[in-house]
């Protein structure tokens, strides 16, 4: 039997090699595609599970909100009845009116606590539904305010730690409002000093500006006229210590502060500018519900 020429054997070997390589490439491609499909299926299953949990969580929150609303309506109705009773009893039995007033106050405090719980649940749901700024976002906030004309200096003392999203959002909004006021009333060139002081369980945030002085200097007055307008005495010092600054912005900042167990102070420094101080003694363990301290979380 005649043997095949060497060129034929080489052609056959080459063909087998090419076929082997093609099969290997096809096998590898199939394996990779299967891995991608399995990973995609796992991701879809994970997303579906997360969505189911989120839906269940939101459903639970809505149920709690509805229940708290029903309780609040009942308590308000009770308060109205107690007030009517106190009004009629006051003419003949003052002690009964005092007892009724005490009951109204206790019911009012309980109702306020429930309303704060409702607001906390609503805000948490809103925060999860849409991205909200966190404390890390203050860098962008400071940059934006600097670009707008403020001279912002930031100081931080103590060891920072993570807070829940609601608390961080509250602090961010307070800073945003305070800096916006500095720019609004002081104008470009206003110097602002922002301070963060961290403690083991709380934080104090302070914003000081020289907006009043800067606004006067920006008017191009002579040195004598500027000094005369910026001058102040004992009466101005006393007023700055006793007056209560008000306004929608300050009221909103105060409400955000009180939601997390804090206090807000807004004051004017005569001849200089304004100061906003928000102190949160226990914000590290506070979930925004009145009277609830999560130190054991």
Write down the CATH number for the domain with range 135-285.
Answer: 3.30.565.10
Query: Strand pairing partners for 206?
Result: 195, 277
Residue keyed to tokens 């299967």: 34
DSSP assignment of 152-203, as one string? EEEEEES------HHHHHHHHHHHHHHHHHHHHHH-TT-EEEEEEEE-SS-E
Written as tens digits, the pLDDT of the chain (297 aa) is 455 566 766 777 777 777 787 888 888 888 888 887 777 776 666 566 555 555 555 665 566 566 666 666 666 777 777 777 777 776 677 777 777 777 777 777 767 666 666 666 566 565 555 556 667 778 888 988 898 889 999 999 999 988 887 888 889 989 999 998 898 888 889 999 999 999 999 999 999 999 888 888 887 777 677 677 766 655 655 665 556 666 778 888 888 898 888 999 998 887 788 899 999 999 888 766 555 555 544
Task: For the chain, give every domain's residue range.
Answer: 1-130, 135-285
Query: Strand pairing partners for 22?
Result: none
pTM: 0.55
Q: Maximum CA pair distance of the chain?
A: 135
CA distances 137 to 12, 45, 77, 131, 273, Å, are 67, 32, 44, 11, 26
């Amino acid at each position: 039997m005649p043997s095949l020429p060497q060129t034929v054997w080489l052609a056959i070997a080459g063909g087998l090699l090419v076929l082997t390589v093609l099969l290997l490439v096809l096998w590898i491609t199939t394996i990779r595609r299967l891995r991608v499909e399995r990973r995609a299926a796992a991701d879809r299953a994970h997303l579906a599970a997360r969505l189911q949990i989120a839906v269940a969580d939101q459903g639970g929150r809505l149920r709690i909100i509805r229940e708290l609303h029903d309780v609040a309506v009942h308590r308000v109705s009770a308060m109205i009845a107690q007030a009517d009773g106190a009004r009629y009893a006051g003419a003949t039995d003052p002690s009964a009116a005092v007892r009724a007033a005490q009951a109204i106050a206790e019911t009012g405090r309980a109702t306020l606590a429930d309303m704060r719980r409702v607001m906390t649940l609503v805000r948490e749901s809103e925060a999860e539904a849409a991205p909200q700024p966190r404390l890390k976002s203050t860098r962008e906030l400071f940059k934006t305010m600097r670009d707008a004309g403020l001279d912002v200096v930031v100081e931080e003392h103590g060891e920072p730690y993570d807070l829940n999203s609601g608390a961080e959002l509250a602090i961010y909004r307070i800073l945003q409002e305070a800096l916006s006021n500095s720019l609004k009333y002081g104008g470009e060139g206003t110097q602002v000093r922002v301070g963060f002081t961290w403690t083991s369980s709380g934080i104090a945030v302070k914003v000081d500006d020289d907006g009043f002085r800067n606004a006067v200097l920006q008017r191009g007055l002579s040195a004598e006229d500027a000094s005369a307008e910026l001058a102040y005495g004992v009466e101005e010092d006393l007023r700055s210590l006793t007056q209560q600054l008000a306004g929608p912005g300050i009221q909103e900042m105060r409400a955000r502060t009180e939601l997390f167990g804090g206090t807000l102070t807004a004051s004017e420094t005569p001849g200089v500018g304004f100061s906003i101080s928000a102190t949160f003694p226990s914000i590290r363990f506070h979930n925004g519900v009145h009277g609830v301290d999560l130190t054991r979380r």
